[in-house]
Structure 1
């Protein structure tokens, strides 16, 4: 039996596919309202940048070539935000009424499993964004904002 035919490999692929589907279910309702506009904004800023800033010129072709990286950056940060937000008790209660298709209200995953996913994903996404996309500082700021907004409840009180 070859390694490709190994039941353990097939099982691992099935598990990864299941996790990917769950991550998509967490983020799918926010792709159009978050990932798409932020990606368009990033592309427009990159195309407008050369006349406005000093530094190396980036061709339109190079900007377009980087679109998958921009989408990855936006989606990965969205994933962290929605996992952090949807795992909170008040969010689960609200989602049971307003968004019952999400994974936690459906009983597909538990709040504890989402917390574990966050513990694994936060350092992984920070490392990917730092090492491969060269946006580690920006990612750290977004992750800090996510923590302040969700866990410290900055959205609940007027602190300014």
Structure 2
């Protein structure tokens, strides 16, 4: 991961930089808007992380690709924020929302498990919420868990 892993402040307003997680969406074939929006859904809710496109010629933390099958995520390593996200065209063909798919799969790389069956208000409920659910915003509980995951990574690292 790039950047500084945030640590708990000393209670005096100490500012820490977010963990910058870079992604390469060149293989996302036409889903650039969905990738940006899915990443922004996490950025806006979790100040400990910052999802940004990787600079040309640098190794990204996350690769985002489009494929024929179902969406998936393959985390790499024991720390959150690395791996591959697959935007599955099969789910898109059935009517699932591309932004919600990206947000959900990024959630896996941030350390979250599926919450199935789950309500539309849980981005990690995935397909169990149905095709009418287009909410890509992480719930308060999901935000808390990601924040804990990154605090734990900072304490180990």
TM-score normalised by length of structure 1: 0.26
More helix by share: 1
Report which of the two structures shows the higher radius of gyration computed on alpha carbons: 1
TM-score normalised by length of structure 2: 0.27
